[in-house]
Amino acid sequence: MLNVLGNRTFRHLFAAQLIALIGTGLATVALGLLAWQLAGDDAGLVLGTALAIKMVAYVTLAPVAAAVAERLPRRAFLVVLDLVRAGVVLFLPFVTEVWQIYVLIFFLQAASAGFTPAFQATIPDVLPEEKDYTNALSLMRLTEDMEQLVSPMLAAALLTVVTFPVLFGGTVAGFVASALLVVTVALPARAVGEPEGFWAGVTKGARIYLATPRLRGLMVMEMSVAAAGAMVYVNTVVLVQARLGLGEPQVALAFAAFGAGSMLAAFLLPRILDRLADRPVMIGGAALMVAGVALTSLAGSLGFLLALWALVGFGFSLTQTPIGRILNRSARAEDRPAVFAAQFALSHAAWLVTYPLAGWIGSAYGLPAAALALAIVGAMALVAVMVLWPSKDPQNLAHDHADLPPDHPHLQDHAAEDHCHPFQIDDLHRRWPTAT
């Protein structure tokens, strides 16, 4: 897995991601303390609203940002957005009203909605070999899980010697360092497609997504993932403190179990994907998550809950890590940023539904009802995935072009009798073949 760090460009991009993640983790802790300072007992409401604003920004702005990015130099786009994020965070220590938090969070997440898909779409160009790309995806997944463990501990250590506003300074430093690391590498040139209007660019990713069977299945799978993930992120504190009667250290331990399960899966995935296709691995991961949530009502001890959350975390990584491979396989290089942006927006749309669902049902009807409802949502989504994403999903598909003249360059390039080649939705292939 670590051999991909021998690529200098990827090594710098990976370091940029790692430093920015740690900075973001510090900001998460600081934001919670800021909300408490301004709103007291209503801090949870403030953070919940901020989370909703984050999701709305991701869902609505990621495709727009992708269309803008197509018209700008790739490296400059990433650097500017890193600096915008740093500039926004710089204002957070000085807010005095809750509404100011909401405004700054919107601008911060708007910049992230542009940065994250563009960054993700760059990695396949840096590491074009699928084995290297798979190792990179696992390494980045492992890093994200480790960050969830390291950042809170680092924040706790810093808070013994500084006040919480200083943590925002660490976030600013992280984003600036990320920008500097991106500046130090020459990124591969972005593949350029046919010129198109701005609105066509905004909707391109969604159009490719909805026309590709495996991507339609992936879109529905995100609902299964979000249903299980929402149970973990929203209701763990209630499960541990209210149901089991334990304290804050045990809450942290439960989240650590989820992270440990995810890290283990990320570590094993390169070898698993050498032997198995993406579809069964991801469906198996989603099934583990649904099963873990369905069994939550039986969690009468901390040990049982830790085992369940480790199982859910393992399934989470099995479903999330291979996504980049699926997107890379399903789009031309010039369309890849738009497809990554569509995935980013659609996946967060699922979380926008399941987050409030987990909280509302848990509060109104109790945790067993919330677990049952989310497990049902996840199971229904999983069944839909198996219908939408065919088990036979070859890269090369035979098809015809009745609308093209015989001397068209595309037909000349693929002149075999059955006209079979890697199939991706584009201007010449607007519909998926009905037979292979």
Helix, coil or strand: residue 191? coil
Task: Check whether 248 has a pLDDT greater than 80.
Answer: no
Number of residues assigned to the chain: 436
pLDDT in tens, 105-118: 899 888 988 888 88
Last residue of a domain, one of 162, 188, 214: 188
Q: What is the pLDDT of residue 150?
A: 73
- Identify whether residues 367 and 235 lie together within a single domain: yes
- Identify whether residues 183 and 244 lie together within a single domain: no
Q: What is the pLDDT of residue 35?
A: 77
Q: What is the pLDDT of residue 11?
A: 92
Q: Of 143 and 264, which is predicted with more confidence?
A: 264
- Identify whether residues 35 and 167 lie together within a single domain: yes
Q: Of 249 and 270, which is predicted with more confidence?
A: 270
What span, in angstroms and rounded, lies between the C-alpha atoms of 371 and 254? 16
The CATH number of residue 123's host domain is 1.20.1250.20
pLDDT in tens, 352-394: 888 888 888 887 888 899 899 999 999 999 999 999 998 887 7
What span, in angstroms and rounded, lies between the C-alpha atoms of 205 and 208? 5
What interhelical angle do 213-238 and 323-330 show, nearest 10?
A: 160
Token pair 């292979």 is found at 436
Q: What is the pLDDT of residue 307?
A: 94
313-333: average pLDDT = 89
Q: Which amino acid, 141? A: R
pLDDT in tens, 385-430: 999 998 887 777 777 777 777 777 777 666 666 777 777 777 777 7
Those residues with Cβ within 8 angstroms of residue 379's Cβ, 6 or more apart along the chain or in another chain: 224, 290, 294
Task: Check whether 203 has a pLDDT greater than 90.
Answer: no
Those residues with Cβ within 8 angstroms of residue 149's Cβ, 6 or more apart along the chain or in another chain: 256, 259
375: in domain:
yes
Q: What is the pLDDT of residue 191?
A: 62
- Identify whether residues 173 and 130 lie together within a single domain: yes
Task: Check whether 233 has a pLDDT greater than 50.
Answer: yes
25: in domain:
yes
345: in domain:
yes
143: in domain:
yes
Nearest to residue 104, comparing CAs of 163, 172, 174?
A: 172
- Identify whether residues 126 and 36 lie together within a single domain: yes
- Identify whether residues 26 and 73 lie together within a single domain: yes
Last residue of a domain, one of 155, 188, 221: 188
413: in domain:
no
What span, in angstroms and rounded, lies between the C-alpha atoms of 224 and 219? 9
198: in domain:
no
256: in domain:
yes
Q: What is the pLDDT of residue 152?
A: 65
pLDDT in tens, 278-302: 999 999 999 999 999 999 988 888 8
Q: Of 346 and 197, which is predicted with more confidence?
A: 346
58-81: average pLDDT = 85
Q: Which domain holds residue 177?
A: 1-188
148: in domain:
yes
Q: What is the pLDDT of residue 62?
A: 84
- Identify whether residues 174 and 261 lie together within a single domain: no
* Domains contained in the chain, number: 2
| pTM for the full predicted model | 0.81
Task: Check whether 436 has a pLDDT greater than 50.
Answer: no
Q: What is the pLDDT of residue 126?
A: 87
Task: Check whether 48 has a pLDDT greater than 70.
Answer: no
- Identify whether residues 268 and 127 lie together within a single domain: no
Mean residue pLDDT of the chain comes to 84
- Identify whether residues 176 and 325 lie together within a single domain: no
Last residue of a domain, one of 160, 188, 216: 188
Question: Are the beta carbons of 267 and 160 closer than 8 angstroms?
Answer: no
- Identify whether residues 257 and 110 lie together within a single domain: no
- Identify whether residues 213 and 165 lie together within a single domain: no
- Identify whether residues 38 and 161 lie together within a single domain: yes
